Amino acid sequence: MFKGQSVLPAVKGMKEFERVLSTSHHYFVVLEIHLSNIAAMKKKARHSEKKMILHADLIQGLKGDRAAAEFLCQVIKPAGLISTRGDVLRVAKKNGVLAIQRVFLLDTLAIETSNQLAKTIKPDVIELLPGVIPPYITRVKDKIGKPVIAGGLIETSDDVQAALKAGAEAVTTSKSELW
């Protein structure tokens, strides 16, 4: 799915973005970024043959709604959009952009609510947070039947390996030493 890439660098600004451009990673995730930086980021990423996955809910200056998702898909044209919002994921799917549903493992109710949304939306990928709970990676992957990426609190190579062993397709991490 991610060209065999098991770690997806997650950047929180232009400095980290510049750093990821010099890595061998093909895909990367943009967590927090200001709207004014997205066009420049898009241009540099394409020039470096990198694929951006944008966290639509965390772009400063852009509301995480249907109109924002349309803008991102049609103007920025990322490889994927991450969101907890059904409308954003629907727009991503409609535009042929990888739809990644972010799921927080808070409690049983949150998991069930996320499962229901996944049945309705049919995202391409589920992102589980925190990603350091391997048994839930297996459970969610089996129950929803979609590829899973793990993120949040991934701080060591052991965390990465545990998530991958539990069935995660890849792991997102902002820890640059794990890139």
Rounded Cα distance between 147 and 168, Å, is: 7
In order of their start, the domains of the chain are: 7-178 (3.20.20.70)
List the one residue out of 74, 54, 176 whose CA is nearest residue 127: 54
Q: Check residue 133 and give its pLDDT.
A: 95
Per-chain mean pLDDT for the chain = 96
Q: Check residue 57 and give its pLDDT.
A: 96
Rounded Cα distance between 131 and 151, Å, is: 5
State the residue for tokens 């049983």.
Answer: 108
Model pLDDT for residues 88-144, shown as the tens digit of each residue: 999 999 999 999 999 999 998 998 999 999 999 999 999 999 999 999 999 999 999
pTM for this one? Answer: 0.96
Spacing of C-alpha 123 from chain mean position: 12
Q: Check residue 16 and give its pLDDT.
A: 96
Q: In which band, very low, low, confident or very high, does the pLDDT at 12 lie, cut at 50, 70 and 90?
A: very high
In degrees, rounded to 5, the angle at the alpha carbon of residue 144 between the alpha carbons of residues 51 and 101 is 40
Span 65-70, average pLDDT: 97
Q: Check residue 138 and give its pLDDT.
A: 95
% of the chain surpassing 90 pLDDT: 98
Q: Check residue 65 and give its pLDDT.
A: 95
Model pLDDT for residues 33-52, shown as the tens digit of each residue: 999 999 999 999 999 999 99
Model pLDDT for residues 83-100, shown as the tens digit of each residue: 999 999 999 999 999 999
Rounded Cα distance between 146 and 126, Å, is: 7
